[in-house]
Structure 1
Amino acid sequence: MPLSEHEQRMLDQIEQALYAEDPKFANTVRQTNPAVHYKRSIVQASVGFVVGISLLMGGMILQQVIVGVIGFIVMLACLLWGLNAWRRVAVGGEAAAQSQTKGAEPKQRRRQQRPGMMNRFEERWRRRQEGDDR
C-alpha cells in the first residue's frame, strides 16, 4: 500500500532529521540488509545446537538426566530458531511473502476448475455403490 503525499513528506523529514543528527548511524541503517541478520541468526543457532548436543552427550556420559534434558531443550530451541531464520532468508523479505499471497489466488481457481484426487475417488466410490462399475 503506497504512502499518501503527506505521509511521504513526513517520512522524508524524519529521514533528513536522522541524517542531520547522526549521519554515521543513518548510513549504517540504510545499508543494512535483513538477510545478513537472519544469516547471523542461523550461525548462532547452529552453534547453540552444537552446545545442546554437547550437553546431551555430557549428560549421558555423566549419567545426569537433568543435564541431558537441558541439552535436548537447547537443541530443540536452537533448531526452531535456526529454521525460522532459514525460512525468512529463503522467502527474501516481505515483498516475496506478498507475492506468495498473490500467487495463491490462481491455485484456488485451478482447484475449483478441475476435481481433485479425493473428488475422483469419491465419484468412483459413489458409482460402485450404485452398481455402475466401469
Structure 2
Amino acid sequence: MPLSEEELRLLEQMERALVEEDPKLASTLRGTAFRRTARRRAIIAGVCFAIGVAVLMTGAVARITVLGIAGFVVMLGSATVALAAMRGHHAAPAAADPRAAHPSRGFTVIDGGRRTKRNRGSNGGSFMERMEERWRRRREHGGF
C-alpha cells in the first residue's frame, strides 16, 4: 500500500532532520545500498563487455560483419553502463539528498510579488559563514 501524502511529507521532514543533525550518519546509511547496486551493475557490465569482445572477435574471424558490429555494440553499451555505475550517475537524486530533488532548489521564489532567495541552510548564512560556524563549534567542543 503506498504512503499517503501526509506520510510522505513527514518522512521527508525526518530525512531532512537526520541530514541536518548528523550528516555523516545519513551519508553512511544512504550509501551502502547504492554502492552495492553500483558494484553489481559494474561487474555485470564487465562480463557483458567480455562477451562483446568474444562476439566481435568471432565475427572478425568468421568474416561475418553483422556479428562483429553486434559485438562492438554490446561492448560499447556495457562500457557505458560500467562507467556510469562507477561514477554513480544511476543513483537517484532524491536518495542522495532529499532537498536536492526539489525542483525549486537554488531558484528564486516569488512570494506575494516580492522576489526572495530560498533559504539554503538552517541559519541561512553564506557557505563560508556556515563553515566558520562549524569550525568554531568544533574548537569549542574539543575535536572533530
**Normalising TM by the smaller chain, what interval?**
0.3 to 0.5
Identify the structure with bigger relative contact order (alpha carbons < 8 Å, sequence gap 6+): 1
| TM-score where L is the length of structure 1 | 0.46
> Hey, which of these two has a bigger chunk of strand by percent?
2
| TM-score where L is the length of structure 2 | 0.43
> Hey, which of these two has a bigger chunk of helix by percent?
1
